[in-house]
Structure 1
């Protein structure tokens, strides 16, 4: 970076700015649906009809012959979330090839912030569990503390930022904040998702069938060959994706990894030529087209349904809340989300700014970065999934980890509100002009060049 580099600057080109805006709109709506689904699940799981919720979640459907007789909760976590991770794979590839991550100077800060935002909460989680004795079987460990030390298996629970939830909160709290904050949060979340995918695929794969995994490469290769040639008939691609998912599931690797691999196989850049059977032109951004169509399905259906089956934690029956409060797992998750994410994201950003001599964008102040770092502590979708993988779906430790995620995310949202709501008013006048440009579908002046017209990629 040079001295003129600006941290949290808005996207440099108009097409990229529109892509970010479209993603944010879908994610903020999805975040609202996610919140509603989680609230309904919590209310139902703690109502007089709580048993019917558990019965619905644990109802088994599927095909035993191919080992796909799964509960509805498992179908939501392994199946529907594969759509979420497919979209994450699309966004990751697009960011790497044509987005902000393609430029090392611009990518350095959000990448380092994402990595530190993963490592710091993990270290804090382990430290809190060790200090409170959860790994030693002390009385304070409770049912979820686990005398065999397996409480430490939850170290990855507080490492993931839920982009849909975080952006939904940001939309409510800071509708007039500079767009650079939103694009930075989106970029950070893409890297965060990549780290989460690697953790799920490596740390939480207890058994591996190399044969099934090798077989999964065949439909994956066929899917990649078709999309690379711009042959995107759904009746060809969907069966190949389902077969890939099924074989990855059978291999022992978490099935959502199949969604990421499929997403990464979709092309972004143009081809020199395409066969006559192609349904799209050679210069089509296939990843963006797929993301545009599937993001509403992911954010509006897949993730809320998963949240509905994952967030139904009983807190009023059988001393659930009291046991959770006494469990080091719960406290460790809360501390890691609230303190770990703030220290990791904010601290690494400050350090990177000093090491690279970069300046904060003229539109922002460091207090805005504090609010953004607090928003990164909102964990939900991936955190709940990791909790299930670490402790076993429905176990006391899993339920306590989920309560920790819900509590920590709520605390982060409230603290972020205390920081960003006052700041939001200060940006209202600047944002008002940008909003008028978007409403009239014109290219904002900041993305125009006098000699070339609107920027293009």
Structure 2
């Protein structure tokens, strides 16, 4: 770790290049990966701000006495064809329908990470996988301990296991903190792996019955979807109706409908062919991500986050074992799990932490991952579907736990904000104005030759100015 006892705090050493022969945790990203992460996080940040606005709007709508009844009426209003088994409330359409779009994007992200991103290399994938796995086991363990000793229900063990990357990035945007690209990539990859485990949890533990006829139809639709993709068939008018049919069959099968979105996302090709600037998966993700982040997830939040926050309900959050387990799972379990998993990865693989970062940075990011919103609210609805009162209390616990985690992460990140800004500026510096950050070219002779020409031109310009200034002074010193 570089010394922090510098006379000039605004000047920091540039990020150290990652030595390919050494094992570094949270090392510098390749240039294509850095650009992809920047684009993805930019969209997630905008979506996270909209998500935050929607959550606040839901709380105001549900807790303002003249408006509370209208919120319940809109949320419980049923619409849809009953003959197809789709006569659902607005809340269920948001949870089962709109979130399928969110999980479709998550499926594409996962596929890309597996075939073209960090997860394609087992050594590189070890860190986020271990960290994400520990970041799910630890919160579930904290929830279990609280409910075993408090004689509570174990049904909600999975609620505090999810991380909401969009909400976390919205918090970063609000507090104005810029994380170095390595930490942002770690957070994004961690969330992708976290989503994978959440998908498995939803599919395995929250499928109580299976209608094999409907499920077989959904599988047949997915096979047709895959076949059309492999044959190169194009046109939204083919895939959108087919996707709706697959979703409807999956919903009626008893398997959570969002699984259909994940499956279709995983089927897209995310490797670039000859002459392609973007793979089909990247193109579709670019088109669908704004719909997911800007419409689907905020609308889900609007109809899922509207819970009562009276003094009595808040008191229940900290006294009832189910809700207390959720809060402690998010705030304590997530932080300890992710930080512990990262430390274990370093300890047993003999990998060293990137020289530009310190373990407190990992701890701060781990605490930021304690913001569990979208998937946590969804799992809360599934876990306590038979108890509406407890469902709302668990949702309140998710909101309060996420708020506590966000505040704690803000404090920790702000303590290192000056260091982060210096690292970010060094990563983005482009003195030769060729569109590529200098740090990616410092080991090439062409870069240094360009910089030499730039400095020679500047030196020649300054010499001309010095001669002109000297000539003007001589003219001014002559007697009239």
Note the alpha carbon deviations across 1:238-277, whole angstroms, 9 max, x for none: 01111110110010000000000000010112568xxxxx
Task: Note closer, same or farther for the CA distance 1:171–1:353 as it changes in structure 2 (3 Å cut).
Answer: farther
Residue 182 of structure 2 is matched in structure 1 by 180
Residue 334 of structure 1 is matched in structure 2 by 327
Residue 35 of structure 2 is matched in structure 1 by 18
SS in 2 for 1:32: helix
Structure 2: distance between partners of 1:348 and 1:256: 28
Is structure 2 residue 126 aligned with structure 1 residue 108? yes
Structure 2: distance between partners of 1:396 and 1:89: 33
Asked whether the equivalents of residues 173 and 420 of structure 1 are also in contact (C-alpha less than 8 Å), the reply is: no
Note the alpha carbon deviations across 1:333-382, whole angstroms, 9 max, x for none: 01111110111100111111011111111221111111000011000000
Note the alpha carbon deviations across 1:220-254, whole angstroms, 9 max, x for none: 12222222343331000101111110110010000
RMSD of aligned Cα (Å): 2.2
Unpaired stretches in structure 1, ≥5 consecutive residues? 135-150, 273-280
Residue 306 of structure 1 is matched in structure 2 by 300
SS in 2 for 1:68: coil
Structure 2: distance between partners of 1:307 and 1:392: 17
SS in 1 for 2:158: helix
Work out which of the residue numbers 106, 113, 117 in structure 1 matches 2:135: 117
SS in 1 for 2:87: strand
Asked whether the equivalents of residues 82 and 256 of structure 1 are also in contact (C-alpha less than 8 Å), the reply is: yes
Note the alpha carbon deviations across 1:268-317, whole angstroms, 9 max, x for none: 12568xxxxxxxx7785111111111111111110000000000001228
Task: Note closer, same or farther for the CA distance 1:249–1:372 as it changes in structure 2 (3 Å cut).
Answer: same
- Compare CA radii of gyration and give the structure with the larger one: 2
Structure 1: distance between partners of 2:75 and 2:34: 40
Alignment of 1:379-394 (within 5 A): 379-392=372-385
Asked whether the equivalents of residues 165 and 188 of structure 2 are also in contact (C-alpha less than 8 Å), the reply is: yes
Asked whether the equivalents of residues 132 and 193 of structure 2 are also in contact (C-alpha less than 8 Å), the reply is: yes
Residue 137 of structure 1 is matched in structure 2 by none
Asked whether the equivalents of residues 154 and 390 of structure 1 are also in contact (C-alpha less than 8 Å), the reply is: yes
Unpaired stretches in structure 2, ≥5 consecutive residues? 1-18, 448-480
Give the TM-score normalised by the residue count of structure 1. 0.89
Alignment of 1:27-38 (within 5 A): 27-38=44-55
Task: Note closer, same or farther for the CA distance 1:443–1:225 as it changes in structure 2 (3 Å cut).
Answer: farther
Work out which of the residue numbers 389, 393, 396 in structure 2 matches 1:396: 389
SS in 1 for 2:342: helix
* Displacement after TM superposition at 1:452 (Å): 10
Alignment of 1:83-162 (within 5 A): 83-134=101-152, 151-162=153-164
Structure 2: distance between partners of 1:174 and 1:350: 28
Work out which of the residue numbers 265, 288, 297 in structure 1 matches 2:291: 297
Work out which of the residue numbers 421, 432, 438 in structure 2 matches 1:428: 421
* Displacement after TM superposition at 1:394 (Å): 6.9
Alignment of 1:247-266 (within 5 A): 247-266=249-268
